[in-house]
Structure 1
Amino acid sequence: MASRTQSNNKAQSNKTASKTEEYDVVILGSGFAGLCMAIKLKEAGITSFIILEKANEVGGTWRENTYPGCACDVQSHLYSYSFEGNPDWSKSYAGWQEIQDYILHCTDKYKLRSSIRFNSEINEASFDEASAQWNIHTKNGAHYKAKSFVMGSGPLHVPAIPKIKGLDSFKGKVFHSAQWDHSFDLKDKNVVSIGTGGSAIQYVPEIAPKVKQLYVFQRTPAWVLPRNERNYSSLEKQLFRRIPLLRKLHRGRLYLTNEMRVLPIYRPALAKSLSKFAKWHIKSSLNDASLVEKMTPDYTIGCKRVLISNKYYPAFNRDNVELVTDAVVEVKENSIVTQDGKERAIDAIILGTGFVTDPRNYMQDFTITGLNGRTLMKQWEKGAESYLGINVTGFPNFFQLVGPNTALGHNSVIFMIECQVHYIIESLKLLKKKNARYMNLHQDALESFNQEITEGLKDTVWSSGCNSWYQQDDGKNFTIWPGTTIKYRARTRRVIAEHYHWEGADKQSDMPCADAAPQTQ
């Protein structure tokens, strides 16, 4: 079924537009964010939209990441849309296939497939002030016009490939965890895994029993907490299905429990107490005292992404798994050389090296041009910034989902996406109510919000001195929302009209109204 769908998607995308297609809204990406945007547009009665997807199927990161053991580190009943509950999750933390099946279900249930153009990667988008429209071009030569442009691509979709001397000359197999080659048989192979992040801690325990020898290269150890994982019984699933309130209460409990995790983030002193429990987890899981020392981080827990696994540490108790902490100097045709001079014969290299997360890097080949010829990359020259992670000054009717400083370290990003989608829908309604040609964020609103972000990050674990993918090279944290999701929801319930210029708005509609009422800060 999947292959036939992908074939139909490919055929559909090959029908390159011979003329410009016009819509009220163009959405980039068909992962959780883009699909949520489309569903809520339809719900609001806005049916003139199209989703442009670079691949040949929906799913985003859950389409791309299929490595052994791939699963979400947020509970299944919480890592799903609030309006589309699933009583049939098989376990507390679903694997990639189950999540992808859920995404496919949502796509079909809400009849979105006909509104998606697959194999349509956007490479240019520019705002034309005269027509108050976005001109959007794809690599396959198609051209679209839209009153509003929503970017829902997310930050975790471009694999980070390390620069290692000789990697290109290696005669064995090399692949990134997000591009897993399932046709390559790891059985009885000498395998190197580079990286010990969120992906590696999941696939390392899965491949360890299959390979002849596994060398896990660690640059910096991660804090890994135990995973409260269990299967849902048939009775539980039946009750969730027959009594939706029980499922909603279960989801609510998970949400509140996760929300409490923000406390150690605000108070590094509490984080120290949590680190004691994490250290106990390390010591109780490993048989070798030297490994305990090497795998115990020296930074405050939470400064980097906290990982969860019951299987990762025990994998290193196996005789065929070796932790390597010496840096890689060179890869030769059939071996890898470390800084201590040791050379290890290997058959394959798996790059568990994460993703390019700074939009200034992964969006280099994608030009977004706003008013007066300004480009988003120029605007973000010193770092990515936006208002509520949604709007950027000088880019009218341009909205982001999971934009700068809206990722989380303690709860479900799906909650944040739904908040952002609600805000965008409210913006579109206000545009129509005011009969405005476009809305453009005031610079002082952007600056004030980002000053608030800077202040919010002070004295948190994220500012305790470590380097992480949350930060750009100069240390600026462009990723994390420094607060509760409850606060973010409050900030995104209503649009503060005074924070925007409403070009061409009716004067009467520009008078103060309920939509412009101040929000709880």
Structure 2
Amino acid sequence: MAEGPVDHEVVIVGAGFGGMGAGIEFKRLGVVDIAILEREDDLGGTWHVNHYPGLAVDIASVTYSYSFEPNPFWSRLFAPGAELKRYAEHVADAYDLRRHMEFGVVVESAEWDDDAGRWTVHTADGSSRTARYLVTATGFLSQPHTPDFPGMDTFAGDVIHTTAWRDGYDFGGRRAAVIGTGATAVQLIPEIARTARELTVFQRTPIWVVPKVDFPIPRPVQQIFARIPAAQKAARVVNTSLLEMLMVFGVLHYKQAKPGNQLAALLAKTHMRLQVRDAATRRALTPHYDFGCKRPTFSNTYFRVFNQRNVHLETGTIESVVPNGIVTADGTRIDVDTLVLATGFNLWDVNFPAFTIIGRDGRDLGKWWRDGRFQAYEGITVPKFPNFLTLNSPYSYSGLSYFTTIEGQMKHIARLFGEMRRRGTSRFEVTEAANAKFLERATKNLESSVFYAGDCSTSRSYYFNQHGEATLLRPNATLTTLHEQGSFPLGDYEYA
């Protein structure tokens, strides 16, 4: 099959940890003509975009990092966000990735040319470039959601979305409102409550919060990690095992291990009971869905802020925004000077994929997913999309640490491209049959999960897409996922 010339062998969209992981794997394979396109002005993905007060990982740092590039110098068990940003910079330098990166490049679309055997990638500046292979690494949480309450455009005060934080912003003497009580808000709210004159927290859906066992990592321990890498590897294994128990038994095998899920919920309720004095507030903060339907989080400070006289919990529906405040459905008006939007991200409407992608026979990936079912073979490839790898896709997220997902997909890339090299081919496409078989298995495995066997009706969880399917998580244990990504049947692909 004739192939046309290309500008790059590989174009990777996104310079976060996913895109960098893909870049590292391609360089291991000897592919060096790589362009990593990033819409922001620097690398790091979510750890570059987010820098709000209180930002930290909610997975222990020894696990929330590449296993092959450990950082022995984390300052805390749960490192602050700035350290993750520095770690990303270190990885880029250690693996010589910066020279492949282009910043401020917004990709708008890509289409496959079957005759030429290449992708054409179009960017917002009107230019385009071609590549033999296209990789999307745009992240699960990359498209911020901004609510469109009536009157938002009339608000006279400051509006700050957590993904566009104003560094150094002073809440002193101000009447602040935070909309949202997800993982970001849980970190941010205690920080705002320190200085704000009044803080109103608008909660639509309460979140399960468990104690955070966090502490500084002493310098001698850091030195041990640096000198004896096996020590840090052991710490990683222990932490990963604990997370695995929570994910597999509390979420994925809910039907078989319901008492374990109930025990986790009891821990969260006890944590709240010990920290929140007012019974009515505790009732309002208690979720009415099963633990794990919505991603839980860790905090030792979130619940306590609701004991402060300057902090108010509001569970009424927001009716409208007026120039100096917010009006709820019962007519109550709450005066606000600064409105903080901790409203999360739009995953399913605009994030899968993050830009228009047209494959073979004119198949529009976003339309195909939304009109039918969200699906991707092994969470990484799609029928009728040759030479295309989607790192943030349905059924791809494995475990609780994103790095499990990344490293599993790196294994998949290595095996797939190794087979193409052995065959002397340059084109791959997963078969319809293999994709259907994987989708059927993933769907069946999820039947025992909390998403279907539990009660998630009031969770408003981003795990569920607009069809009501929980197609974000890969329903396997971490070790199973890593094994499958490195040993999938090579005959599941067609090569040319």
User: What TM bracket, shorter-length normalisation?
Assistant: over 0.9
d(CA) in 2 for partners of 1:244 and 1:218? 44
Q: Does 1:487 align with 2:480?
A: yes
Equivalent positions of 1:289-368 (< 5 A) are 289-358=279-348, 360-362=349-351, 366-368=355-357
Counterpart for residue 451 of structure 2: 462
Q: Does 1:26 align with 2:11?
A: yes
Counterpart for residue 263 of structure 1: 249
Could you tell me how far 1:183 is from its partner in structure 2? 5.0
1:184 to 143, 162, 169: 169
Equivalent positions of 1:378-389 (< 5 A) are 378-380=367-369, 381-389=371-379
Q: Is the 8 A contact 2:37 2:102 kept in 1?
A: yes
Counterpart for residue 121 of structure 1: 106
Q: Which one-letter code corresponds to 1:210 in the other structure?
A: T
For structure 2, which runs of at least 5 residues remain unmatched after alignment? none
Could you tell me how far 1:21 is from its partner in structure 2? 6.0
TM-score (norm: length of structure 1): 0.90
Q: Which one-letter code corresponds to 1:419 in the other structure?
A: G
1:218 to 165, 180, 203: 203
Q: Which one-letter code corresponds to 2:347 in the other structure?
A: T
Q: Is the 8 A contact 2:463 2:470 kept in 1?
A: yes
RMSD: 1.5
d(CA) in 2 for partners of 1:468 and 1:417? 23
Q: Is the 8 A contact 2:6 2:132 kept in 1?
A: no
Q: Does 1:474 align with 2:460?
A: no
1:390 to 380, 387, 405: 380
For the residue of structure 2 that corresponds to 1:199, the secondary structure is: helix
d(CA) in 2 for partners of 1:159 and 1:224? 23
Q: Is the 8 A contact 1:427 1:495 kept in 2?
A: no
Q: Which one-letter code corresponds to 1:471 in the other structure?
A: F
For the residue of structure 2 that corresponds to 1:146, the secondary structure is: strand
Q: Following superposition, which runs of at least 4 residues in structure 1 exceed 6 angstroms of deviation?
A: none
Could you tell me how far 1:384 is from its partner in structure 2? 2.2
For the residue of structure 2 that corresponds to 1:260, the secondary structure is: helix
2:97 to 112, 128, 136: 112
Equivalent positions of 1:501-512 (< 5 A) are 501-503=494-496
Counterpart for residue 516 of structure 1: none
Q: Which one-letter code corresponds to 1:297 in the other structure?
A: P
d(CA) in 1 for partners of 2:495 and 2:221? 51
For structure 1, which runs of at least 5 residues remain unmatched after alignment? 1-19, 504-521
Output one character per residue of 1:368-391: Cα deviation in whole Å (capped at 9) or x when no partner: 111111111232122421011100
Could you tell me how far 1:479 is from its partner in structure 2? 0.9
For the residue of structure 2 that corresponds to 1:211, the secondary structure is: coil
Q: Does 1:286 align with 2:276?
A: yes
Equivalent positions of 1:55-454 (< 5 A) are 55-182=40-167, 184-261=169-246, 262-265=248-251, 266-267=253-254, 268-358=258-348, 360-362=349-351, 366-380=355-369, 381-408=371-398, 410-454=399-443
Question: How many pairs are equivalent?
Answer: 482
Q: Which one-letter code corresponds to 1:23 in the other structure?
A: H
d(CA) in 2 for partners of 1:433 and 1:22? 24
Output one character per residue of 1:396-417: Cα deviation in whole Å (capped at 9) or x when no partner: 0100113212224x52110210
For the residue of structure 1 that corresponds to 2:201, the secondary structure is: strand
Output one character per residue of 1:191-248: Cα deviation in whole Å (capped at 9) or x when no partner: 0100100100000001101100000011111110011101000110111111111111
Q: Which one-letter code corresponds to 2:473 in the other structure?
A: I
Deviates further, 279-288 or 460-469: 460-469
For the residue of structure 2 that corresponds to 1:137, the secondary structure is: strand
Output one character per residue of 1:300-350: Cα deviation in whole Å (capped at 9) or x when no partner: 111111111111000111110000011111111111111222111110110
Could you tell me how far 1:364 is from its partner in structure 2? 7.4
For the residue of structure 1 that corresponds to 2:116, the secondary structure is: coil
Q: Which one-letter code corresponds to 1:244 in the other structure?
A: P
